[in-house]
Amino acid sequence: MNRTNQLINLLKVKYPLVQAPMLGVTTPEMVAAVSNEGGLGSLPVGLQSPEKTLDLIRKTKALTDKPFAVNLFAHDMPAIDVAAISAIQDKLVVITNRYGLEHPLVDIEKLQHYSYREQVEILISEHVPVVSFTFGVIDAESIQRLHDAGIVLIGTATSVREAKQLESMGIDLITAQGIEAGGHRGTFFFDEPLPQIGAMSLIPQVVDEVSVPVLAAGGIMDGRTIKAAMILGAAGVQVGSAFLRSNESLSIDNYKQVVHESVDTDTVLTRAFSGRWARGIRNTFHNEVEKLNLDFPAYPLLNDLTVPIRTASQKLNNKEFTTLWAGQSAHLAKLKTSAEIVRELIAEAGWSE
């Protein structure tokens, strides 16, 4: 069986097309629309409480009876150095004051402890068919429990070394995330410089080194890029930025507009919002935080500190103090329904014939 058929059989989908999980952008409506069209929608629940996770899964199930993936963040919570984090918050307040932005302060002593382990129980009891994850590998016991429940696992790799690590832990499918990709890098080996490998180089090298099917991610926006990824050896594709401007996207109007007007050089990698490297369209917040020369705390501590700033910015439809995560090809994203986007991708890829 070729790798695409293997992937289709594993995921129980009609087409080898996965909508990338995009926390803050993806809605149950987007996930269901993609799955209903024969692709695999992915519901992001990284950093969400068990209650919210359950609610989102149930909302999605109410909209589709097709398989969809639920996406976790596979990191552990770091220890919190209250004094150091408070000092960073003080620096952020100077910025927001200067721009007259509302900034409710975070009580650092009460920062929530996220653990994907609590979510694993919900995924099992809700009989979720596919679980994907980023920011590392979930622990061996969780892998075993999810596999015992018949759940297919997809991990994210940004280098051959990470892909091999995922395969060695028994992960069923690997998303090879090129440097073009919007949002956070899935990188999880921190003993080497950040891998910055483009999809064109990453996909064939990962495909050569692992035996499980590989999903290509990063810069895939249309039939041309799908076909290129498949020629490079991908079994299927994972598409994110193409859905940024969809009707079902949570992104504020200004975000959709700036994505539309963006050019190839507008996105950059930044640690400004979360302490982890992520690709988005540069704005005032990036520039101001970069000037601070912060000693970035482990994820998600800076993320927690910037949530109120982003929320305030979004309320005002202000694009300067919120995340504008987008891939290098985001300019090609279309203002359509998610179902229309999927149908177009399938037709352009030549899969509907």
Ligand X SMILES: Cc1cc2nc3c(=O)[nH]c(=O)nc-3n(C[C@H](O)[C@H](O)[C@H](O)COP(=O)(O)O)c2cc1C
Beta strand segments in the chain, E:
17-19, 41-44, 68-73, 130-134, 152-157, 173-177, 183-184, 214-217, 236-239, 267-270, 278-281
The minimum distance between CB 94 and ligand X, in angstroms, equals: 28
- Kindly tell me which of 129 and 182 has the beta carbon lying closer to ligand X: 182
User: In angstroms, what is the minimal distance from the CB of 327 to ligand X?
Assistant: 2
Q: What's the DSSP call for residue 325?
A: B
**Sheet harboring 173-177: ordered strands across?**
17-19, 236-239, 214-217, 173-177, 152-157, 130-134, 68-73, 41-44
Nearer to ligand X among residue 23 and residue 40 (C-beta) = 23
Which is closer to ligand X, CB of 67 or CB of 93? 67
Token look-up 């509907």 returns 352
Least distance CB 37 / ligand X (angstroms)? 17
Rounded Cα–Cα distance for residues 178 and 190 (Å):
17
Q: How far is the CB of 47 from ligand X (least distance, A)?
A: 9
- CA torsion, ordered 52, 57, 58, 59, to nearest 10 deg: 90
In whole angstroms, the minimum distance from the beta carbon of 325 to ligand X comes to 3
Least distance to ligand X, CB of residue 156, Å:
6
- Cβ nearer to ligand X, comparing 17 with 25: 25
Whether the Cβ atoms of residue 125 and residue 151 lie closer than 8 Å to each other = no
Residues facing residue 71 across a β-bridge: 44, 132
Sign of CA dihedral 342, 344, 350, 353: positive
Q: Which residues of 257-296 are buried (b: 16+ CB within 10 A; e: fewer)?
A: ebbeebeeebbeebbbbbbbbbbbbbbebbebbeeeebee
- Shortest spacing between CB 138 and ligand X, in angstroms: 12
Which residue reads 């003993």 in tokens?
Answer: 191
Output DSSP code: residue 44.
E
Give the interface with ligand X as residue ranges (CB under 6 A).
20-23, 25, 44, 46, 71, 134, 156, 177, 180-184, 217-220, 238-241, 325-327, 329
- In Å, what is the CA distance from 160 to each residue of 57, 163, 202? 32, 5, 7
Minimum CB separation of residue 202 from ligand X in Å reads: 12
DSSP letter at 40 equals B
Taking the least distance from each CB to ligand X, the nearer of 136 and 308 is 136
Side chain identity at residue 3, one-letter code? R
**Minimum CB distance to ligand X smaller for 301 or for 326:** 326
C-beta of 180 vs 248, nearer to ligand X: 180
Q: How far is the CB of 176 from ligand X (least distance, A)?
A: 10
Output the residue with the shortest Cβ distance to ligand X. 240
Q: Nearer Cβ to ligand X, position 181 or 197?
A: 181
Q: Which two tokens stand for residue 149?
A: 């429940």
Instruction: Choose between 108 and 332: whose C-beta lies nearer to ligand X.
Output: 332
Distance CA 65, CA 137 (A): 28
